[in-house]
Amino acid sequence: MNQAEFRCKWLRLEDIWDCAEDVRNRYWSAGKLPVDVEAIVEFKLKLDIDPENNLMQQTDMEACLRSDLRGIVVDHDHYMNEKFANRMRFSFAHELGHFFLHKDFYAMIVFESAEEWKDILLSLPDTEYRYFEYQANEFAGRLLVPREDLVREIDNALKLLELNNMLEYLKADPNAVLSRISTQLSRPFGVSADVIERRVDREKLWPPDA
């Protein structure tokens, strides 16, 4: 295919979220947090996990879905280092977004390496590339951060703010308060504070009624 003519298929945000919910419900029956997305990849979907040396250094990617959709290539050092556990969790979820949302695109292209995949991405029209990645990110965020669990964690945080007489700060500058508590909110989900801040924005959960 001519990558310059690529048009990412339009998907409603609600449809992306519904797909993520369906995947979590089908493949993570334990229902515990954080979602063990690596177990979903390896044991439920039977996809290979292929650690590759210097993947991040050479391509600026922690992971990429293989052209044949049978595995995910990951940066060896990040995969083996617990320090990057949260980042790798999101990277796996992001690639699952491509796996479930973009199979039609992968069916039209062939690449043998992560470097070739990077070249394909760079050849896509900028707007289409951003939307392609946005869809995978939205899938990953909803997969890892179930809405009802996020609502519960926000409620718990509000109770602590009330106990500490900080609700006035919330009313005065809700974004500053969110920045202060986002790390706390992120812990049960095993994601970064940035992911949580994006989730509460996308889900329209902030500022809360307090």
The reply to whether 103 falls in a domain is: yes
Judgement on whether residues 28 and 131 belong to the same structural domain of the protein: yes
Choose one of 144, 161, 186: the last residue of a domain. 144
Domain end call among 117, 144, 171: 144
CA R_g for the chain? 18
Domain harbouring 30, CATH code: 1.10.10
How does pLDDT run across 147-164, given as a tens digit for each residue?
A: 999 999 999 999 999 998
Residue 67 CA: distances (Å) to CA of 11, 57, 113, 120, 188: 22, 21, 9, 11, 33
Which pTM was predicted? Answer: 0.95
Both 28 and 126 in one domain: the answer is yes
What's the pLDDT tens digit per position in 4-55? 678 899 999 999 999 999 999 999 987 899 999 999 999 999 999 999 999 9
Q: Which of 101, 125, 144 is the last residue of a domain?
A: 144
Range(s) of the domain holding residue 153? 147-202
Shared domain for 113 and 54, answered yes or no, is yes
